[in-house]
Chain A
């Protein structure tokens, strides 16, 4: 039964990675920029979620505020930091992005303090027993369901609406998309909004699971999400989701069986390095 429980824990962690990595993939597919600062919206979401939930007593309001504020912050970041750099070589935007992330950590420290904040009365902490065998916190169950639901809805919107189609066309060939009347600006704003809102969604869940939000909570997920999108074959949404779940599960098993040798993050990165040595094009790359 330990195996099944570990697998479940892996999926919980994996769905959080998936939510974060999805936004990175969207940005990479659209602009070919490695958006390191993406993790700042994960942290921002977590702070807003806790603060709003503590103030209002409503977790749903916390989620809504976190996603809306992080989404708008994402669009503003795109307009101010990336848009002016689009005709420069991609490393210029990458450097800007790294700088932004570091600045964001310091900003969180200044505004919210270095020691971190918690929920006054953390919701969704009750223990469940699934199928009589799997012990799970309510929040852990909901993060899996919530991620699945949100990814399902997004993929339906992507494939079933004209706006989704316009996004796909823009990823495929921006110039031609523009020639058929698609506003690149609208598509890019939308992608930054959705990607950042997803990161914030993940941030609030992590806040719930750990009952702690710190200025630096985004740094490790940020590196991991970068590695995940490479593993998923850069720009492929399906590959990213699969890679995120695989990494979550590998981490969960690794922590138990290799825990004496390596810590959780070391296991994750050792796995990523190994895979990329064998398949530098990523696990799920088409080319």
Chain B
């Protein structure tokens, strides 16, 4: 559904990503891996429209959305749970969800909210609390839930497991698998390579903004050089 056609992006003279090509399909999880500063977050923020696209095209169902204004991209079905989560901290959990679903009629709110709370039942008890008061794990759940409120067809999640306890990571990954089974396309940025390899369908590895490996997750798991050279696995 979403195709990155040799995109380069960055800030002013600085280029964070060089000629990345990637195809994301409905019902598939694509893991974007690599060290810090490899350009993973820039790629996500470029698809969201916050980092300037310098070359290449972004195609959504064959339509070029490279120049689509940021605020229109969510209408096109793209939602993001960004690096650092970036919740609306002073607002309640419920209001964060409400903003996530702002592009849909107010009458749909309750139904959409109950749907995401079904995915993350822990948030149901936290609805009136300010988002800033949640634990790290709950904040990550809320960031994903907020994105889901937009009823996207592609969800981009940055650093899903960063700073979270293993139990919470399990919960989030279970949610991810459920979203995949419901037909969502997922673009996942992860530092936790083993987790990503275990769940993803496709893997793309970046190094200094360049694609150094791309293929199916099964191939990636079997590729010993890949594991040792780029992913720090033994």
A residues bordering B, Cβ < 8 Å?
Answer: 162, 165-166, 168-169, 172-173, 175-184
Contacts and interface: CB of A to CB of B under 8 A. Distances in A.
Contacts of A173: 86, 88
Contact of A166 (B72, B73, B74, B99): B99
Given A162-B98, A165-B98, A179 B91 contact: no
Nearest to A163: B102
B154 interface: no
B71 A168 contact: no
B71 A182 contact: yes
A180 B102 CA distance: 7
B150 A181 contact: yes
A32 B114 CA distance: 36
Contacts of B80: 179
23 contacts: A162-B98, A162-B106, A168-B95, A172-B90, A172-B91, A173-B86, A176-B86, A178-B71, A179-B48, A179-B50, A179-B70, A179-B79, A179-B80, A180-B79, A180-B99, A180-B100, A180-B102, A180-B150, A181-B71, A181-B74, A181-B103, A182-B71, A184-B71
B88 A175 contact: no
Contact of A178 (B70, B79, B146): B70
Given A179-B73, A183-B71, A162 B89 contact: no
Given A162-B98, A168-B91, A180-B99, A175 B71 contact: no
Kindly list the 5 A-B residue pairs having the minimum CB-CB distance in the complex, ordered from nearest: A181-B103, A172-B88, A181-B74, A178-B70, A169-B99
B82 interface: yes
Interface of B: 48-50, 70-75, 79-80, 82, 86, 88-91, 95, 98-100, 102-103, 106, 146, 150
A168 to B, nearest CB: 6
B107 to A, nearest CB: 12
A183 B80 CA distance: 17
Contacts of A162: 98, 102, 106
A181 B102 contact: yes
B90 A180 contact: no
Contact of A180 (B49, B50, B74, B91): B74
Given A162-B102, A179-B80, 18 more contacts: A168-B91, A172-B88, A172-B89, A175-B86, A176-B86, A178-B71, A179-B48, A179-B70, A179-B71, A179-B74, A179-B79, A180-B103, A180-B146, A180-B150, A181-B74, A181-B103, A182-B99, A182-B102
A178 B78 CA distance: 12
A168 B70 CA distance: 18
B73 to A, nearest CB: 7
Contacts of B102: 162, 165-166, 180-182
A172 B89 CA distance: 7
B86 A177 contact: no
Contacts of A179: 48-50, 70-71, 73-74, 79-80, 82
A240 to B, nearest CB: 15
A83 to B, nearest CB: 16
A162 B90 CA distance: 16
A176 B102 CA distance: 12
A165 B95 contact: yes
Contacts of B88: 168-169, 172-173, 176-177
Given A162-B102, A173-B86, A181 B75 contact: yes
Contacts of B150: 180-181
